Chain A
Amino acid sequence: MKFDYKKIERMTPAMRIIHWANAICMIAAIITGLYIAHPYYQSFIAEGAVDKYVMAWNRWVHFISAIIFDVTSIVVVYLYFFSRFEKPYRKLIPNAKNVKEFGEVVLNLLTLNRRKRFDSTHSDSFNTTYFTIFHLLLFFMLFTGLQLYVHGLESGESSIGAWWPAFLHITTDWTIPVTGGTLMDVRIAHHITMWLIIVWIVFHIYYQIWRTIFWEEGDIAIVFGGSKFVKDKE
């Protein structure tokens, strides 16, 4: 058998920017989040407290990545429904076609690529579901994180106005009863969800590499150049 390869576009530049912004922020958020949870290195330098600011910088980085997540998440939600490129929400509707495709992709993974009966020229419904899980986890992170954050603004003022803390209260106060009734539960939920995200990432990277190797379609290139190659049977 001989193949011809056809180049197809899978990620627009905007999507790639979002991907890498998320990736970098995620690493930063995890590193700093773990420090906030349990300061694992000690700054015992003979300097005044004011000059060090180790925790403060960690929190700053953590919050900045959080804010970037805020923005990317909103863009992602928009793209899910209104993207002119691919509207991912269509792949989430559990209709017969999507369910079948989802099953086929899972089978492909389980049969170690022995069986591949779906069209890999576009984002399949398994892939889309998997990414949706990530965005939902990230949203949960945002809500719990912003709930933890807003209590530092209890005066009701912030550098960008009083609307910001008020808005955060309205949007995130529900996390307290949902996670168990106290701020501590929110914190624990925030922390646990971080681990879920890490597990998500590990599988995500593995799956991309696995696809690249076994499908032989250069999937890993999608995230860099935006396109991959699909075998064109002659």
Chain B
Amino acid sequence: MAEGRDESIKKLFDAKSAKVNTNRGEEYFADLYVKCQKRLGELKAMPATGGGVDLRKVLEEDGFERRDFLKWASATTAMLMLPASFTPLVAEAAEVMNRIPVVWIELSDCAGNSEALLRSDGPKIDEIVLDIISLEFHETLQAAAGHQAEKQLEEALELFRGKYILFVEGAIPLGIDGNFGTLGAKAETFKDHLLRLADGAAAVVAVGSCATYGGIPAAAPNPTDAVGVMDIVKGKPVINIPACPANPANIVGVVLHYALTGSVPELDSLLRPKFAFGYRIHDNCERRAHFDAGEYVEEWGDEGAKNNFCLYKMGCKGPMTFNNCSIIRYNESVNWPIGVGRGCIGCSEPDFWDKYAYERPMANAHIKAPTGGVERTVDQFGLGLLTAAGIGIGIHAAASVMAGKKNSDEKDA
């Protein structure tokens, strides 16, 4: 952990700044355009690795028109913060995405991300695009079980060595020498499993907050000593897509970006792609006007709640949370937590279970004194401090007055 902290500090200073650079000038994009074209050409020449599914055909079968697809492509281009001229390239990238082998593993998790992603959710075309990425191996979705699956995994690892993207869902429990989580006949610990698979990967993508920071298993008191992927995997590009559950659109975005450019997207200091985690929820929140106006929901179901007032006083953590759910939302963009009147719990931030996910404003957050034990809100701490100072001053003042009286008595005498 200490090492991770040091590294992140170093990174903070090396980082060019956390800003989201949306406009790098024409020259840059012209260059990128050519690079992407070349890359797509190469990919096209490669055989599809999965079952050889053809996106065009799948879309047609599902009754999507080319126009729908292009609409999706232009929305995705915008999401990736590329200029509109890249739309045809993004569309093409989606079509050749099945050339990129993907291995997906689940560690200590609740299956919520796979659930959000591969079975139920995501803008329709996102989902289909995901269906056709060549998932070489997925533990939950795998039709094969047991030894057969393990064999399949070994084969995939060998065949695509150095090329596949490893998606990891879930935290890595390190407690009792990693024996909180073991896999397979050889009882390999999660940590060893992850390291072995990461070794041959082109990049490792941590999906969800558990894989990114340890998430719920790592919440205090962290019974299993769980950590995230970036604490274990070193010397490989790691991309984090936190949130609980991770938003499918962002996962697609990462794969697409990789297909398109052959490189990982620009990341912030927590290794999150800036196209998704560059802005705070609060910056694009539909209730922001009410925040500025000072109109807040004070109680669940009150008049303010009926009028969609801001949820800041109900403990919304949107102002300190980087994510794009206020723009792309969840479940085919139908809604999102703030949309149903529940504040943001900061699920894409580190340690959010302990530092964000409580249902009260941050001023009412309970914080522990450095000595441990006492738990008070910041204001209670502050008022305590002030009272102590006040008492000290009172005593000093009273004593001074007494002393002063004595002095003048003496003088008078």
Contact = CB atoms under 8 A, between A and B. Distances in A.
Check A-B contact in the complex, CB < 8 A.
Answer: yes
Interface of A: 37-39, 41-44, 49-50, 52-56, 58, 109, 112-114, 151-156, 165-166, 169-170, 173-174, 176-177, 180-185, 187-188, 191-192, 194-196, 198-199, 202-203, 206, 210, 213-214
Interface string B304-342: 000000001100010010000000000000000000000
Contacts of A43: 293-295
Contacts of A41: 294
Given A49-B290, A181-B351, A188-B367, A195 B378 contact: yes
B385 A154 contact: no
24 contacts: A37-B361, A37-B379, A41-B294, A43-B294, A50-B293, A52-B293, A58-B294, A154-B20, A154-B278, A154-B279, A154-B283, A169-B18, A173-B269, A174-B12, A176-B12, A177-B8, A181-B350, A181-B351, A184-B365, A195-B379, A199-B385, A199-B386, A202-B389, A203-B389
Contacts of B291: 55
Contacts of A54: 292-295
Contacts of B20: 154-156
Kindly state the interface size class of chain B when it binds its partner: 35 or more
Given A154-B283, A195-B382, A113 B403 contact: yes
Nearest to A191: B378
A173 B312 CA distance: 24
Given A37-B379, A38-B313, 4 more contacts: A43-B293, A52-B294, A114-B403, A173-B12
Given A37-B363, A169-B19, A195 B385 contact: yes
Interface of B: 5, 8-9, 12-13, 15, 17-22, 269, 278-280, 283, 289-296, 298, 303, 312-313, 317, 320, 346, 349-352, 355-356, 361-365, 367, 378-379, 381-383, 385-386, 389-390, 393, 396-397, 399-400, 403-404
A177 B293 contact: no
A182 B364 CA distance: 17
A45 to B, nearest CB: 9
A203 B393 CA distance: 7
B23 to A, nearest CB: 9
Nearest to A207: B393
A49 B291 CA distance: 9
Chain A contact residues, majority secondary structure: helix
Nearest to A51: B293
Contacts of B385: 195-196, 199
A198 B382 contact: yes
A220 to B, nearest CB: 15
Nearest to A162: B19
A3 to B, nearest CB: 14
Nearest to A111: B403
Contacts of A155: 19-20, 22
A195 B294 contact: no
Nearest to A165: B19
B386 A192 contact: no
Contacts of A203: 389, 393
Contact of A192 (B298, B313, B352, B381): B381
B399 A112 contact: yes
A165 to B, nearest CB: 6
A151 B280 CA distance: 7
B212 to A, nearest CB: 13
Given A39-B313, A202-B390, A49 B289 contact: yes
Give the residue among A49, A165, A199, A213 with the most B Cβ atoms within 10 A: A49
Contacts of A53: 292-294
Nearest to A60: B292
A147 to B, nearest CB: 10
Contacts of B386: 195, 198-199, 202
B280 A154 contact: yes
Contacts of A210: 396-397, 400
B24 to A, nearest CB: 10
Contacts of B313: 38-39
What 3 pairs between A and B have smallest CB-CB spacing? Answer: A54-B294, A195-B382, A156-B19
A42 B362 CA distance: 18
A173 B293 contact: no
A173 B15 contact: yes
